[in-house]
Amino acid sequence: QLEDGLLGLTLDPGFATNNWLYLFYSPVGATPKQHVSRFTMIGDTLDLGSEQVLLIIPTQRDQCCHSAGSLTFGPGGNLFISVGDNTNPFESSGYDPIDERPGRSAWDAQKSSGNAGDLRGKILRIHPETNGTCTIPTGNLFPANGSAGKPEIYVMGNRNPFRISVDAATGWLYWGEVGPDANADDALRGPAGQDEWNQARTAGNYGWPYFVGNNKPYIDYNFATGVSGAAFNPNAPVNNSPNNTGPNNLPPARSAWIWYPYTASTEFPEVNGGGGRTAMGGPVYHYQTNLVSSRKLPRYYDNTVFIYEWSRNFIKEVKLDDNGDVLKINPFLPSFTFSRPMDMEIGPDGAIYMIEWGSGFGGGNADAKIIRIDYVGGNHAPVAVASATPDNGSAPLTVQFSSAGSRDQDTNDVITLAWSFLGNGTTNSTAPNPSFIYTQAGNYNAQLIVTDSQGGQTVANVAISAGNNKPVVTIRQPGNGAFFDWGEAINYQLTVSDVEDGSTTNGTIACAGVTLEPSLGHNDHAHSQGQFTGCAGQIVAPVNTDSDAENLFLVLAGSYTDNGAPNVSPLTGRATYVLHPKHMQAEFFTTNTGVFTQPTADPNGGGLDIAGIDHGDYITFSPMNLTNINAVTYRVTAGGSGGRIEVHIDSPTGPLVSLVNIPVTGGAYSDVTAAISNPGGTHDLYFVFLRNPGDTGLFVLNWLEFQGDGVSLNQTPFGGTPRTIPGTIQAEDFDNGGEGIAYHDNDASNNGIEYRLSDGVDIQSTADVGGGFNVGWVEAGEWMEYTVNANTSGRYKFEARFASAGDGGLFHVEFDGVDKTGPFDVPDTGGWQNWQTLVSSNVAINAGQQVMRVALDSNGGSGLVGNLNYYRLTLLASNNPPSVTITNPGNNAAFSATAAITINAIATDSDGTVSTVEFFANGNPIGTDTSSPFSVLWTNVPVGYYSLTARATDNIGNNALSSPVNISVINGQTPFFGLPQTIPGIVQAENFDGGGEGLAFHDTDTANNGGQYRDTSVDVETTGDAGGGYNVGWTGAGEWLEYTVNAIVDGTYSLGLRVASSGSAGTFHVEIDGQNKTGSMTVPDTGGWQNYTTLTKTSVAVSAGQHLVRLALDSTGANGTVGNYNYFTFTATSTNAPVFLQSAGSLNGIFADDASAVVNLGAKSITIPKSAITRFYRLRSSVQTRIVTVQIVGANVVLTYQ
């Protein structure tokens, strides 16, 4: 489950005599935990009855990730155990997961890595005893009595110490620490992610989740409020998490030994820059003079620490100086391409032994292998490569062998080949590519022996299964490379065919033996989300908030192991598909030509941009399947020439499936959408960037979002058409969409095994009049939904056809979430197929499409609610539903935090009366009123964005829902880009502050008439002015816009305003901090709404610091507007002398008239007695310092400065 299972193993140092083996594994049972246990080997068999549990490590399996699990012995017989932080890293934006909200312990690494009272997120050290127990060695991090922390802890502050090793000579511990994923530093969160290799000579704290790399500190971020606090202190880290069970004060954090980000490392450039990151701790080699071995590494490698990288496919040798510190990092076999090195040891023969994981996400990769690396001082042994086609099948089996790739690396050396098809040492052929017929069923190990002219020899092995065919597993649904949404359900279907066993299609292979394992794909690896058995079913994609920070996707792996055949072992068939989220960061491309990445400047976030885009460059994504995808949206900015994006399949010039022109945006980020056609099947998609040959710097791409349902399940009517009311609805015809969407069933199987086999609702043939099917085995808590369309609003009779072998069950029926029937009491009808009709005669239903839910509330005496056959709805009297409109607040209104908001609504009914009006915020009830005028007061409203609705119900129960009104509750007005816009410089008119109507702007109507750029009532359209971008238009008298700016020059400015008008427009003025700085200015007739001219106002005084600029529109002109506005230009024309403070002593005492104010810069403010101020003092400093506030406090003047 998840990452748990068999996590680590190692042999006892005395294995040759005691046959003891140690396993770190996850025992079966309801309690989530890990065991470190000793077992005894009897021959080649593990004696399960010999288990001695040395250590139990509690864990959680509700959320992924990081189990780690490396085991190794050090000097003195001490056993080291690496344990991961057991924390979900995917909702922390790639930074430190310290989510302290209630119920979020699985997202808080302070419960584990930063917790001295917990064994997770640690490297433990114990001493196994011969009686099957363990003791605590001296020198661990905490006392053996457990008074200050768990005594087993040797190293704490670990995230995912996946591979560890111990130097047998020094006892020093080495490990690779797989780090977090943030691509860039963030001032509000902390540093970019780093992987580490570490060296611990003594016990210590290595900092996670408070520090990474060389103690780069994270920020104490509050996940509940989104507020960032102070940076953590590596000299005195404190764990105040409610999930901490140990002491608050932790040991000082130690720096990593070697650290590196995704990009090139400035500190350790020898670590190849770019690509993924998965640091692995390798062994330390000690040259043994007396060891007789032709394979051992030479003396050059004595005391070398080997480190390796799973993602970047390298091994490095770390040379140490006399103090044991890093002297040099050298490449090891740089010309050799490893395939995801997974584990590495020095053998007793002095050679390197390594496991290569191979190129796939799951197990069973065709290129997975164990390799041995020998040092060859003279003649190189030849390279033996053998393959067989096929390597399994019915007997007699004809196999074509190949020695392609076999060679010798020595010049003029000649190789000879010898094939032993039965693996018994007998040479059957010396041809390079022979064939052989296996007439007898069995498992064979064919061998290719390659010998050179110097006597060097290498053997390659190929496993052959004659008499058994590997099963073929096919994932029929969803398609490979299809698109989904996080948190949504996905249907799957698998089939298996096997020559010997049969197939799932005809039922000769039981679906119970078929397994689907969904995993959360992450860069170049995947985290298991559990296993599902069966040929069809439904998975739910995990909820994810981190896809902007991390390369996340889904991997589906189907498998089936056959029954084998006489004399032939079983074989396992596999199929693996990849699914993509619809929202994809562009930097997670599969391949690229000509582009590079850089941190995004998009105010909406998004990690990295694709930049350096020239004509003809492209990026690719693979595999991709466009089922149910109809468009793609690009997030782009084009400050230069713009261009176009063409999407081709399978090559840069392959069939074209989409094209979009990218306009010049003037440096702002914009969404551009284009239709995309589905060519069918799975393809590589090439996103080709074009304009004209030789053009460079076309635009910058942040992300892509594919539009359409993809393979995420959306609820749809069964058969494609809503059921009609009045009419009869069969109970078994509930909607499509699956578990949790269209229905909920307490067990996953269809107990009746009829009609809709891929759904979990229990359906059987009915004996009721008319035949067909009924839904049975229904239990409390289950429900089914039906999309219906009522032709007429009014009062209906609702009939339900029910059967039960016991009374007392209850159910009710909802329409669009409103209970319309109240409880039905199910009687004992005398049997599961003895049917009665239950009736409710006053059910109010509105006309139109809606969702009917039948909700089973409680079981009766039979232990079930009963059986359902059909529902019938009959119109008794027509009735028009009421109407309701929210009149206050206005759409897009903004309020301050903890505001009290009055919500008013008008509700009427044409053929009756309105009984109640209920008010909702984001679907949650906030109040009800039963008399006109309808109103509620919503108090203490927290910060957030809310959609307000009102529902009116009339005197017979019909109801109607109002159109939504969107409001925001904010802490106050904020700059549009999060930081003030800098002047001197250009301020785009459309980049007014955030905060909403009445706070950051006032617009006299509620619609954005231009429909561009921002979802506010300010009217924004694409501009035709030079440089492109947007302008504000449709202006009216009394409207205004505000902009937070930061003046970096204290002085006089020239203010230019870019305006346009068709006909004579009105007047406006510009205020700074509430002062009219321009006087009244008139927008002239420029000859058209997109013919721009610049109005200039000189001698505008602006002091250095932050200011609020308001564009105030005063009166309309003959054309009824105040004109169009593109941007402001602030140009400094003269500069005032800066304000300085002088660093020379401290300020105290009373000053004479000619005294100077001399201050200590360690302070935050200067206090000067008012009695001393008989003139203005000039304040000086060796560094420029800005006065922020001047306050009179009692008898003193206080200057606060930065």
Lowest model confidence (mean pLDDT) among 45-59, 349-363, 714-728, 768-782: 349-363
Q: How many CA atoms are closer than 13 Å to the CA of 790, on its beta-carbon side?
A: 26
pLDDT in tens, 758-802: 788 999 999 998 779 999 999 999 999 999 999 999 999 999 999
Write out the residue limits of the CATH 2.60.40.10 domain(s) in the chain. 387-466, 883-965
What CATH fold (topology level) applies to the domain 472-581? Immunoglobulin-like (2.60.40)
List 245's β-bridge partners, or say none: none
Mean pLDDT score of the chain: 87
Q: Taking 80 as the threshold, does the pLDDT of residue 1186 lie above it?
A: no
Q: CA-CA distance, 1123 to 1169, in Å (whole number)?
A: 52
Write out the residue limits of the CATH 2.60.120.260 domain(s) in the chain. 585-707, 718-877, 981-1135
pLDDT of residue 559: 92
- With beta carbons less than 8 A apart as the criterion, state whether 217 and 233 touch: yes
Which of the listed ranges 89-98, 391-400, 606-615, 736-745 does the model predict with the highest average pLDDT?
391-400
Q: CA-CA distance, 293 to 757, in Å (whole number)?
A: 63
Write out the residue limits of the CATH 2.40.10 domain(s) in the chain. 281-373
Classify domain 718-877 by CATH number. Answer: 2.60.120.260
pLDDT in tens, 941-994: 877 668 899 999 988 888 888 988 887 777 677 776 656 788 888 999 998 987
Q: Taking 80 as the threshold, does the pLDDT of residue 1090 lie above it?
A: yes
pLDDT of residue 1076: 96
What architecture is the 585-707 domain classified under in CATH? Sandwich (2.60)
What CATH fold (topology level) applies to the domain 981-1135? Jelly Rolls (2.60.120)
- With beta carbons less than 8 A apart as the criterion, state whether 349 and 293 touch: yes
Q: CA-CA distance, 1187 to 1189, in Å (whole number)?
A: 6
- With beta carbons less than 8 A apart as the criterion, state whether 578 and 480 touch: yes
* 174-182 average pLDDT score: 91
pLDDT of residue 386: 95
Q: Taking 70 as the threshold, does the pLDDT of residue 1153 lie above it?
A: no
pLDDT of residue 937: 93
Q: Name the pTM for this structure.
A: 0.57
Instruction: Please report which helix (H) or strand (E) contains residue 1053, including its range.
Output: strand 1051-1061
pLDDT of residue 525: 74
List 585's β-bridge partners, or say none: 703
pLDDT of residue 1161: 34
State the pLDDT confidence band at 131, using cuts at 50, 70 and 90: very high
Q: Taking 70 as the threshold, does the pLDDT of residue 995 lie above it?
A: yes
333-to-26, 313, 316, 337, 423 alpha-carbon distances in Å: 37, 11, 8, 8, 31
pLDDT of residue 771: 77
* 553-562 average pLDDT score: 92
586 — phi, psi (to 5°)? -65, -30
Which of the listed ranges 122-131, 274-283, 454-463 does the model predict with the highest average pLDDT?
122-131
| 3-state SS, one letter per residue, for 347-402 | CCCCCEEEEECCCCCCCCCCCCEEEEECCCCCCCCCECCCEEECCEECCCEEEEEE
List 285's β-bridge partners, or say none: 304
List 1130's β-bridge partners, or say none: 985, 1055
**CATH class belonging to 387-466:** mainly beta
1046-to-1055, 1099, 1102 alpha-carbon distances in Å: 15, 18, 10
Q: Taking 90 as the threshold, does the pLDDT of residue 580 lie above it?
A: yes
pLDDT in tens, 295-322: 899 999 999 999 999 888 899 999 999 9
Q: Taking 50 as the threshold, does the pLDDT of residue 1041 lie above it?
A: yes
* 1045-1061 average pLDDT score: 90
List 157's β-bridge partners, or say none: none
- With beta carbons less than 8 A apart as the criterion, state whether 917 and 905 touch: yes
Q: Would you call 667 exposed, middle or buried from its count of C-beta atoms within 10 A (0-12, 13-18, 19+)?
A: middle
Q: CA-CA distance, 506 to 484, in Å (whole number)?
A: 31
List 496's β-bridge partners, or say none: 473
pLDDT in tens, 819-872: 899 999 999 999 999 999 999 988 999 899 999 999 999 998 888 999 999 999
621/361: higher pLDDT:
621
Lowest model confidence (mean pLDDT) among 23-27, 543-547, 1159-1163: 1159-1163
pLDDT of residue 294: 86
pLDDT of residue 615: 93
> b/e string for 346-385 if b means 16 or more Cβ within 10 A?
beeebbbebebbbebbbeebeebeeeebbeeeeebbbebe
- With beta carbons less than 8 A apart as the criterion, state whether 117 and 91 touch: no
- With beta carbons less than 8 A apart as the criterion, state whether 536 and 516 touch: no
* 1124-1136 average pLDDT score: 89
pLDDT of residue 1020: 93
**CATH class belonging to 883-965:** mainly beta
Classify domain 281-373 by CATH number. Answer: 2.40.10
Q: CA-CA distance, 1094 to 921, in Å (whole number)?
A: 45
pLDDT of residue 839: 95
State the pLDDT confidence band at 1201, using cuts at 50, 70 and 90: very low
First to last CA, the chain: 54
Instruction: Please report which helix (H) or strand (E) contains residue 16, including its range.
Output: helix 15-18
526/157: higher pLDDT:
157
* 1146-1157 average pLDDT score: 32
Q: Closest by alpha carbon to 1007, among 918, 1090, 913, 891?
A: 891
pLDDT of residue 446: 97
DSSP annotation of 862 reads T
Q: Taking 60 as the threshold, does the pLDDT of residue 1190 lie above it?
A: no
pLDDT in tens, 507-547: 788 888 898 988 888 877 777 777 788 887 778 888 765 55
Residue at 941: amino acid letter: V
Q: CA-CA distance, 261 to 257, in Å (whole number)?
A: 14
